[in-house]
């Protein structure tokens, strides 16, 4: 997702002919750029048709966030979803490293809210699973 993979701009272009039609999104992705994933999630949530998501193989990292955009989300018995705290890289001094840690914490909290809104689990429980890098099955 992003940087050489599927992008939010590509999604906008691909969805243009289907602006008000129902969609069935099939996911098999190890994830990618968190901000691209969040953007794709938001684009799908704003789509004017029903969005159904099926996890065919893997929905990991940013792909698991995208999967949450479905009004109906299903997984095959042999599929997996992996969630974890946001990751990032930074070059710089201690101030820049601390600032990046704040950004990562903020993004992780936003993602936990997305998962919690789609489940019966508390944000605190989801944050614990994200901290543990959790792999889930159907």
Q: Tens-of-pLDDT digits for all 138 residues of the chain?
A: 877 788 899 998 999 999 889 999 999 999 999 999 999 999 999 999 999 999 999 999 999 999 999 999 999 999 999 999 999 999 999 999 999 999 999 999 999 999 999 999 999 999 999 999 999 999
Q: What is the pTM of this model?
A: 0.93
Owner of token pair 């789509």: 47
Provide the pairing of β-strand 134-137 with 80-83.
antiparallel
What gap in Å lies between CA 38 and CA 65, rounded to an integer?
A: 7
As given in the structure block, the two tokens for residue 52 are 């159904």
As given in the structure block, the two tokens for residue 127 are 């944050």
């Amino acid at each position: 997702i992003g940087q050489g993979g599927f992008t939010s701009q590509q999604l906008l272009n691909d969805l243009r002919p289907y602006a008000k039609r129902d969609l069935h999104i099939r996911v098999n992705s190890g994830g990618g750029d968190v901000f691209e994933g969040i953007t794709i999630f938001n684009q799908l949530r704003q789509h004017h048709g029903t969005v159904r998501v099926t996890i065919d193989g893997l929905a990991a990292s940013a792909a698991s966030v995208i999967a949450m955009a479905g009004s109906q989300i299903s997984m095959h018995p042999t599929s997996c979803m992996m969630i974890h705290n946001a990751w990032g890289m930074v070059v710089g001094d201690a101030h820049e490293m601390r600032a990046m840690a704040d950004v990562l914490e903020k993004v992780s909290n936003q993602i936990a809210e997305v998962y919690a809104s789609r489940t019966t689990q508390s944000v605190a429980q989801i944050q614990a699973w994200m901290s543990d890098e959790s792999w889930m099955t159907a």
